[in-house]
């Protein structure tokens, strides 16, 4: 309805609008005399709505940057000098550009991010502490400190024991000779926590045995949770990836990486003011495709040389990933985002149809057409690559002939993991029962052992849940 009302208010018949264009997929695609992209799609639809003719003007891949004499180059300069009427090609709305010319209503947002070669598989020792949070590790440390305090109090105050073989004579801090128990409860707790046997359990007193029983149950839960979490993490190969802007800057400072960006854009201006560290190690290329091709060449032929990182729009990098090859793109989050920006059409300062064009663009965006066109371009790129790979595989199969044979691969599933977990739990339960039998020796606290045996099925059931 909004587009219909707008077209009834404006008729640009017999008028030609000069549209400046630069190649920047998926916004504009200029490849082998083929013109496509969501920017061109919108301009064509708007021309049908307002009945004007399009005259495309190639800006030679130069988006425009501000010189020291306050003049602009490229597409922005052509707009300021009234050489073109509208610019398309995923134009970023920056502060300097906004102050120099007008923009139509922004039709989408994008973020500046980076792409690198696939990270190498390495050893990350942080995996050993990742299964538990900081609070859990602090609680474990506090528990061991309490055992140390308990041991020191035992030494300080002393106690009697009927078993002479389990005692040694020591002098406490007051100079009094006392009988000291050979079984060190601290080492007992550490040994059980590490699933190691301790031979002096039979010399422990009743209160110590009771504490150790509770500690054993805690150790069972700790072992299961830690083991399951660690094994699940190790299932996926550990890759030391540059997945944040902070890591990218750190590698630049260490001269381990070179940043590549497209020349004649606002990226140079943004990095000079906001990220001087990245600006100092920056090189330039004619376009993003050329820079990303350098990544692929490095990944295939020079994996051990100094790395490259290509700076561009996330949507542009994802499009090229589907077209020219696979490379590493960090997760879409705030840590990997260099800058969030609006994408819009710049127009010359005396362009008098801004409000009509804004209504049309707003209607497209509100109807979800912009997102649909973006997804469509990404899907089309994936389908082209999939068809090429399919043709290559078909050609290879034809060359192999009847000599081919297939190997069936048996993959593990959650069922196998459940069986392994039940076996681990069963053997752990048996070990704990044998440990408790050794502690109690069928002499003392027989009723505690009986209660534990009665409660054991419910404990196992809770652990399985």
CA distance 182 to 199: 11
Q: Is the peptide bond before 26 cis (omega within 30 degrees of 0)?
A: yes
Domain(s) of CATH 3.40.190.10: residues in the chain: 2-107+345-379
CA distance 57 to 121: 47
pLDDT at residue 339 is higher than 80: yes
Please check whether residue 436 is in contact with residue 449, taking contact to mean a CB–CB distance below 8 angstroms.
Answer: yes
* pLDDT per residue as tens digits for the range 423-434: 777 777 777 776
- The pLDDT tens digits of the residues spanning 10-21 come to 889 889 999 999
Least confidently predicted of 41-45, 169-173, 373-377: 169-173
Residues 439-453 have a mean pLDDT of 57
The predicted-structure confidence for 144-202, as pLDDT tens digits, reads as follows: 888 888 777 776 766 544 444 444 444 445 555 444 445 577 777 777 777 777 666 66
The H helix count followed by the E strand count for the chain is: 16, 15
Q: pLDDT tens-digit profile of 401-425? A: 443 333 344 455 555 566 667 777 7
pLDDT at 9 exceeding the cut of 90: no
What Cα–Cα distance (Å) separates residue 103 from each residue in 152, 157, 301, 328, 352? 75, 83, 44, 33, 12
Compute the distance between CA of residue 61 and CA of residue 37 in angstroms, rounded to an integer.
15
d(C-alpha 165, C-alpha 168), whole Å: 8
Residue 31 has pLDDT above 70, yes or no: yes
- Domain 2-107+345-379 superfamily per CATH: Periplasmic binding protein-like II (3.40.190.10)
**pLDDT at residue 422, rounded to an integer:** 73
Q: What is the pLDDT of residues 299-332, one digit of tens each?
A: 777 766 788 899 999 999 988 888 877 788 998 8
Neighbouring-strand partners of residue 308: 258
Higher-pLDDT residue of 267, 461: 267
Q: How far apart are CA 225 and CA 167, in angstroms?
A: 38
**pLDDT at residue 102 above 70?**
yes
């Amino acid at each position: 309805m909004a587009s219909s009302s707008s077209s009834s208010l404006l008729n640009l018949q017999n008028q030609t609008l000069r549209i400046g264009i630069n190649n920047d997929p998926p916004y504009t695609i200029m490849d082998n005399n083929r013109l496509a992209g969501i920017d061109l799609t919108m301009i064509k639809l708007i021309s049908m709505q307002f009945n004007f003719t399009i005259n495309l003007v190639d800006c030679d891949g130069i988006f425009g940057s501000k010189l020291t004499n306050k003049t602009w180059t490229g597409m922005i300069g052509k707009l300021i000098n009234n050489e073109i009427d509208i610019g398309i090609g995923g134009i970023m709305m920056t502060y300097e550009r906004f102050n120099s010319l007008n923009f139509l209503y922004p039709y989408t947002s994008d973020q500046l991010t980076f792409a690198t070669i696939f990270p190498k598989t390495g050893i990350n020792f942080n995996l050993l502490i990742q299964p538990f949070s900081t609070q859990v590790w602090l609680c474990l440390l506090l528990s061991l400190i309490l055992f140390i305090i308990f041991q020191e109090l035992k030494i300080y105050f002393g106690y009697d024991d009927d078993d002479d073989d389990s005692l040694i004579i020591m002098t406490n801090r007051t100079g009094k000779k006392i009988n000291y128990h050979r079984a060190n409860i601290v080492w007992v707790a550490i040994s059980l926590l590490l699933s190691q046997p301790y031979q002096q359990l039979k010399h422990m007193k009743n209160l110590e045995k009771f504490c150790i029983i509770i500690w054993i149950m805690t150790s069972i839960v700790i072992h299961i949770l830690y083991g399951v979490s660690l094994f699940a993490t190790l299932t996926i190969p550990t890759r030391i990836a540059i997945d944040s802007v902070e890591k990218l800057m750190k590698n630049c400072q260490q001269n381990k990486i070179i940043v590549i960006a497209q020349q004649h854009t606002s990226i140079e201006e943004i990095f000079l003011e906001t990220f001087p560290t990245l600006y100092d190690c920056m090189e330039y290329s004619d376009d993003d495709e050329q820079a990303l091709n350098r990544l692929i060449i490095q990944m295939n032929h020079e994996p051990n040389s100094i790395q490259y990182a290509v700076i561009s729009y996330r949507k542009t990098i994802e499009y090229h990933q589907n077209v020219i090859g696979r490379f590493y793109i960090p997760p879409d989050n705030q840590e990997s985002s260099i800058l969030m920006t609006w994408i819009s059409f710049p127009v010359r300062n005396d362009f008098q149809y801004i409000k009509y064009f804004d209504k049309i663009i707003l209607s497209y965006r509100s109807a979800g057409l912009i997102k649909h066109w973006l997804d469509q371009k990404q899907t089309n790129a994936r389908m082209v690559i999939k068809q090429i790979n399919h043709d290559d595989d078909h050609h290879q199969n034809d060359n192999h002939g009847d000599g081919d044979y297939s190997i069936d691969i048996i993959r593990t599933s959650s069922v196998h993991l459940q069986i392994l977990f039940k076996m681990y739990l069963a053997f752990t339960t048996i070990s704990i029962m044998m440990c408790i039998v050794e502690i109690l020796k069928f002499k003392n606290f027989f009723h505690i052992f009986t209660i534990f045996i009665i409660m054991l099925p419910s404990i196992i059931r809770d652990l399985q849940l």
